């Protein structure tokens, strides 16, 4: 049985301009040239100034020989140069590859090498990690540093020096909608993170879907503390620019500064992840904050417990709107209605965005469509679905079938068309909204000489959602959990840090050798009283 939304719940079709992504900046420059586009600390940039910086950097990159199809990594925290760099690369047809600023040397080397990046725009205090692995990366020709106190090194180029003499006119480049725009990396359930191929057409469509489903207008003001390297942050950045929204950037999340800026800048939409909402609800001063300018709080990256949403609204009077998406969909696919409180739910991920189709199919074949409230795999189709995975044709074929994106998430659709996610991707660990591939931590554990075998799962945690826990078979009987945790600490990004090690005699596996993580997860849930 085909599940469809009731007519009044179906979002209207949109018209998508056939333009390259860099042209998304043209609209606000024409309509609101002197309006503030970005605020960062004591700095503000108008849309006219942003356009000039984007063009100058685009022309400077062309002067370095960087052009259409070349990959350039962005390795920095939230700052105006991120916005400039992303749009500049788009305007010359180069491909940005956002990198997590918490990455350590091995992760930096992997993404720069796998993406075949010819350049990296890096924050000066992160440049040491790039310099340490540069010898392993023969394709990496240019290191461009941003931020205050940028050291002058013979093997780097300072961002201000690069744009100082570059012309502010748009570069003459012919681009097409199916050209690759960005190559973010998504942690899969097996192996190392995979590059996701997102085109200009994907991002143009998804930015417009986000604007329409969120009812964003030029009068809105965004506070963005979510990292721009994350697909959620990139969507907010691009949607804000095209809509002519004033964007207040925070380098990183700080609860006190977040609440101060919400009031001082009269923010209209707050974008967050569940742990942020939990933290806010724990504050004794939450009711004293002036929330009068805020229309709603939008939650993404992971499901938020209904009680948390209810508690936040009771204290502040601000409704919580939950959505759903994934990197492979640029990212947004679902959002609760923001325009009618009677249609808003706090226990579902909402309705499909404009021009987005949804189905739930059987887990065995993925071909039989299920009826209302039957649980299966969620699949979606729309203009935001990725081109595929970078250098991974088999993974692409398994994930995108006949135009449908197989999300790997388990859920159900009710009679009205609302989607509820009942389980996350089977193998992924969701730590404070960040996805962690167990196989990546397992690969690290096998580098320790005292480890014979191991498996990693997400252990339920009230604050973080899940934390990584390892089950380890020892090769060295004298190895302690404390010693292994200390050895692993700092070798991967902080959010991937192991929180617990349990020694076992054997790892449960299938006959073909695949780890039976569900067995370990069931044991852990029973142990903590959830199973």
Q: Is the pLDDT of residue 32 over 50?
A: yes
Q: Provide the Cα torsion 518, 523, 525, 527; round to 10°.
A: -170
Provide the percentage of residues in the chain whose pLDDT is more than 90. Answer: 77
List, by residue range, all CATH 3.40.50.12780 domains of the chain. 10-413
pLDDT at 425: 61
Give the CA distances from residue 262 to residues 296, 310, 356, in Å, rounded to whole numbers and listed in that order: 12, 20, 32
pTM for the complete prediction?
A: 0.85
Tokens 């695949």 -> residue: 514
> H or E element: which one contains 28?
helix 26-31
pLDDT tens readout for residues 166-222? 999 999 999 999 999 999 998 654 567 899 999 999 999 999 999 999 999 999 999
pLDDT tens readout for residues 135-145? 999 999 999 99
Q: What confidence tier does 3 reach under pLDDT thresholds 50, 70, 90?
A: very low
Q: Which residues pair with 296 in a beta bridge?
A: 269, 319
Name the class of domain 10-413: alpha beta
Residue 140 neighbours by CB distance under 10 Å: 20
| Tokens coding 459 | 């252990």
pLDDT tens readout for residues 490-528? 999 999 999 999 999 999 986 546 688 888 988 887 776
Q: Which residue has the higher pLDDT, 354 or 365?
A: 354
Q: Is the pLDDT of residue 248 over 70?
A: yes
Q: Is 418 left (phi over 0), alpha (psi -120 to 50) or beta?
A: beta
The CATH homologous superfamily to which domain 429-527 belongs is: ANL, C-terminal domain (3.30.300.30)
Cis peptide before 331 (omega within 30 of 0): yes
How does DSSP assign 34-58, residue by residue? Answer: TSEEEEETTEEEEHHHHHHHHHHHH
CA 72, 395, 496: angle at the middle one, nearest 5? 65
Tokens 């929204």 -> residue: 245
pLDDT at 190: 53
Q: CB of 471 within 8 A of CB of 502?
A: yes
List, by residue range, all CATH 3.30.300.30 domains of the chain. 429-527
Q: Which residue has the higher pLDDT, 351 or 275?
A: 351
Q: CB of 214 within 8 A of CB of 299?
A: no
pLDDT tens readout for residues 65-98? 999 999 999 999 999 999 999 999 999 999 999 9
CA 453, 455, 459: angle at the middle one, nearest 5? 150
pLDDT at 530: 58
Q: Is the pLDDT of residue 2 over 50?
A: no
Q: CB of 262 within 8 A of CB of 291?
A: yes
């Amino acid at each position: 049985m085909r599940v469809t939304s009731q007519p009044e719940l179906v979002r209207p079709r949109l018209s998508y301009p056939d333009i390259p992504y860099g042209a998304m900046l043209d609209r606000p420059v024409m309509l609101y040239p002197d309006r503030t586009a970005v605020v960062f600390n004591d700095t503000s940039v108008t849309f006219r100034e942003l356009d000039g910086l984007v063009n100058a950097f685009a022309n400077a990159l062309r002067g370095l020989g960087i052009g259409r199809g070349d990959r350039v990594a962005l390795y920095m925290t939230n700052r105006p140069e991120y916005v400039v760099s992303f749009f500049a690369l788009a305007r010359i047809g180069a491909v940005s590859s956002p990198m997590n600023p918490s990455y350590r040397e091995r992760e930096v080397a992997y993404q720069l090498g796998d993406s075949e990046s010819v350049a990296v725009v890096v924050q000066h205090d992160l440049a040491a990690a790039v310099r340490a692995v540069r010898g392993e990366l023969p394709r990496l020709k240019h290191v461009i540093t941003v931020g205050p106190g940028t050291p002058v090194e013979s093997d780097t180029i300072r961002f201000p020096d690069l744009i100082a003499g570059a012309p502010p006119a748009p570069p003459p480049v012919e681009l097409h909608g199916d050209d690759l725009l960005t190559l973010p990396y998504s942690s899969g359930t097996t192996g190392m993170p995979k590059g996701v191929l997102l085109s200009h057409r994907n991002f143009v469509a998804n930015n417009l879907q986000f604007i329409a489903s969120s009812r964003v207008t030029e009068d809105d003001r965004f506070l963005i503390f979510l990292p721009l390297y994350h697909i959620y942050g990139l969507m907010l950045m691009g949607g804000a620019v095209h809509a002519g929204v004033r964007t207040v950037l925070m380098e990183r999340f700080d609860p006190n500064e977040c609440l101060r800026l919400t009031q001082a800048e009269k923010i209209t939409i707050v974008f967050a992840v569940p742990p942020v909402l939990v933290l806010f609800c724990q504050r004794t001063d939450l009711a004293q904050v002036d929330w009068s300018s805020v229309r709603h709080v939008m939650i993404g990256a992971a499901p938020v417990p209904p009680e948390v949403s209810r508690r936040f609204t009771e204290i502040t009077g601000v409704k919580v709107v939950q959505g759903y998406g994934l990197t492979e969909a640029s990212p947004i696919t679902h959002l609760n209605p923001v325009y009618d409180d009677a249609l808003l739910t706090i226990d579902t991920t909402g309705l499909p965005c404009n021009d987005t189709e949804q189905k739930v199919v059987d887990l065995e074949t993925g071909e039989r469509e299920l009826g209302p409230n039957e649980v299966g795999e969620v699949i979606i189709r729309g203009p935001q679905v990725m081109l595929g995975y970078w250098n991974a044709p088999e993974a692409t074929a398994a994930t995108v079938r006949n135009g449908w994106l197989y999300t790997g998430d388990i859920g159900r659709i009710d009679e009205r068309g609302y989607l509820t996610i009942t389980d996350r991707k089977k193998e992924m660990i969701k730590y404070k909204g960040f996805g962690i591939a167990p196989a990546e931590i397992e690969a690290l554990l096998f580098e320790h000489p005292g480890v014979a075998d191991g498996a990693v799962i997400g252990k339920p945690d009230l604050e973080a959602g899940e934390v990584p826990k390892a089950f380890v078979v020892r090769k060295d009987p004298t190895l302690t959990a404390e010693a292994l945790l200390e050895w692993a600490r700092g070798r991967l990004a902080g959010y991937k840090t192991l929180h617990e090690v349990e020694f076992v005699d054997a790892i449960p596996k299938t006959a073909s050798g695949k780890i039976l993580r569900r067995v370990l997860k069931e044991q852990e849930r029973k142990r903590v009283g959830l199973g």
